């Protein structure tokens, strides 16, 4: 089956804290502990990290990409969130500040003015849900001035709504691979400077053939040197890029202090393909899967995030829902939600695992 290029895949409440605050928190929190999940358990490495914990951590909200909501067949986004059991969503936002996937019948919400924001705020409060990130689909090197203005408007709207992070694309579309790093650094300096007063954090997603490269990310973060620029840490995309399974957790540890948002995603490769360097996008359409069926150990992932002081959501991005019935989609995503919530089961101060119900 043909592999999928991630550049072509559809991407469709409290104020945040800086990376400096993250580091301070991580020293206080220590590592988290995670308990067993249905049919499997946390890895030995995850248990060792958990055993060092001496503070009961606060749970992160479990959310999903808003593009997954219509898969439920429900008439509005709130019923869809209820069906999945998620605490909220990451929302696509257009240049006109519309939220096309936050739907109620044929209508959808937006953030373009105070009235729209008030209506959405009321709906969120009524439903008990939250928006943990906005999602922009940027073309910085094709239209830099327009993109900068869109970022300004989006940051102001996010600030008004108490949305802590905005997921962005930083990928070459017009420029060559050689020209792009310098451009990206200058563009991110402009974005962070123009929006610094909002406190909103810009979360570059690692995806495609550029931002899945740890060297590119490290160089970009060093060049921009801003606490407001970080990562949407997509667990599956680093694996998609070809990094061996055994190397993923070191990459996660490197960038966890920069993580402002996550995409929880996995792939189930045959055993012989897991720990070798594979071509980018290798057989993704065939092997991408829900996180409770894949190779990535989310006990280890969550322990790494907790140790780094991560403070936003665990956002499920399931790209394996195509072709499923609404009932199958709800059952699949609900399992993923239970996995992440079970893995967050609190521990005693002695570091022992609390018992967790099977998903």
**How do residues 232-290 score in pLDDT, each as one tens digit?**
999 999 999 999 999 999 999 999 999 999 999 999 999 999 999 999 999 999 999 99
Has residue 149 been placed in a domain?
Answer: yes
Cα–Cα dist 68/233, whole Å: 19
Average pLDDT value for residue range 179-186: 98
Question: What angle, 0 to 180 degrees and rounded to 10, lies between the N-to-C axes of helices 298-307 and 245-255?
Answer: 20
Has residue 349 been placed in a domain?
Answer: no
> For the chain, what percentages of helix, strand and coil (3-state, to nearest 5) are there?
45, 15, 40
Predicted confidence band of residue 57 (pLDDT cuts 50, 70, 90)? low
Has residue 356 been placed in a domain?
Answer: no
Has residue 245 been placed in a domain?
Answer: yes
Predicted confidence band of residue 48 (pLDDT cuts 50, 70, 90)? low
Has residue 124 been placed in a domain?
Answer: yes
| Residue-range definition of the domain harbouring residue 336 | 19-343
b/e sequence 25-53, b meaning 16+ C-beta within 10 Å: ebeebbbbbbbbbeeeebbeebbebbeeb
| Digit-coded pLDDT (tens) for 301-351 | 999 999 999 999 999 999 999 989 999 999 999 999 999 999 987 432 323
Distances, alpha carbon 284 to alpha carbons 9, 210, 267, 272, in Å: 11, 18, 7, 15
Counts for the chain of helices (H) and strands (E), in that order: 13, 12
Percent of the chain residues past pLDDT 90, beyond the cut: 79
Q: Are 151 and 194 in contact (CB under 8 A)?
A: yes
Has residue 147 been placed in a domain?
Answer: yes
Percent of the chain residues past pLDDT 70, beyond the cut: 80
Q: Is this model's pTM higher than 0.85 or not?
A: no
Looking at residue 25, its pLDDT comes to 33
Cα–Cα dist 346/296, whole Å: 21
Q: What is the total count of domains within the chain? A: 1
The contacts of residue 36 (CB under 8 Å, 6+ apart) are 42, 353, 356
Has residue 7 been placed in a domain?
Answer: no
Has residue 241 been placed in a domain?
Answer: yes
Q: Are 345 and 35 in contact (CB under 8 A)?
A: yes
Average pLDDT value for residue range 122-126: 98
H/E stretch holding 246 reads: helix 245-255
For residue 282, what is the domain's CATH number?
Answer: 3.20.20.150
| Digit-coded pLDDT (tens) for 9-28 | 333 333 333 333 333 333 22
């Amino acid at each position: 089956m043909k592999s999928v290029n991630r550049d072509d895949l559809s991407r469709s409440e409290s104020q945040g804290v800086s990376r400096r605050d993250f580091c301070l928190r991580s020293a206080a929190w220590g590592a988290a502990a995670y308990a067993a999940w249905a049919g499997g358990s946390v890895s030995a490495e995850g248990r060792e990290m958990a055993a060092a914990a001496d503070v009961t951590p606060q749970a992160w909200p479990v959310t999903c990409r808003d593009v997954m909501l219509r898969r439920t067949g429900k008439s509005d986004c709130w019923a869809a969130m209820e069906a999945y059991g998620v605490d909220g969503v990451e929302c696509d936002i257009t240049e006109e500040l519309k939220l096309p996937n936050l739907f109620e019948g044929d209508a959808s919400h937006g953030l373009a003015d105070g009235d729209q924001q008030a209506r959405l705020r009321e709906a969120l409060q009524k439903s008990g849900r939250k928006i943990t990130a906005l999602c922009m689909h940027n073309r910085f090197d094709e239209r830099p001035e327009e993109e900068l203005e869109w970022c300004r408007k989006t940051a102001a709207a996010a600030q008004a709504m108490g949305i802590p992070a905005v997921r962005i694309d930083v990928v070459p579309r017009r420029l060559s691979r050689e020209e792009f790093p310098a451009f990206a650094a200058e563009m991110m300096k402009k974005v962070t400077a123009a929006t610094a007063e909002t406190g909103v954090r810009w979360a570059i997603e690692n995806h495609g053939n550029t931002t899945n490269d740890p060297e590119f990310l490290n160089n970009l973060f060093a060049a921009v040197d801003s606490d407001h620029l970080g990562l949407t840490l997509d667990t599956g995309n680093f694996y998609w890029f070809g990094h061996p399974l055994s190397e993923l957790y070191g990459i996660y540890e490197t960038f966890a202090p920069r993580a402002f948002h996550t995409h929880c995603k996995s792939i189930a490769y045959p055993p012989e393909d897991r720990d070798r360097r594979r071509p980018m996008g290798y057989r993704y359409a065939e092997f991408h899967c829900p996180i409770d069926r894949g190779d990535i150990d989310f006990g280890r992932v969550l322990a790494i995030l907790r140790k780094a002081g991560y403070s936003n959501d665990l956002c499920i991005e399931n790209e394996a829902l195509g072709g499923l019935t609404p009932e199958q989609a709800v059952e699949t995503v609900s399992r993923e939600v239970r996995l992440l919530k079970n893995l967050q089961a609190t521990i005693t101060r002695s570091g022992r695992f609390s018992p967790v119900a099977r998903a």
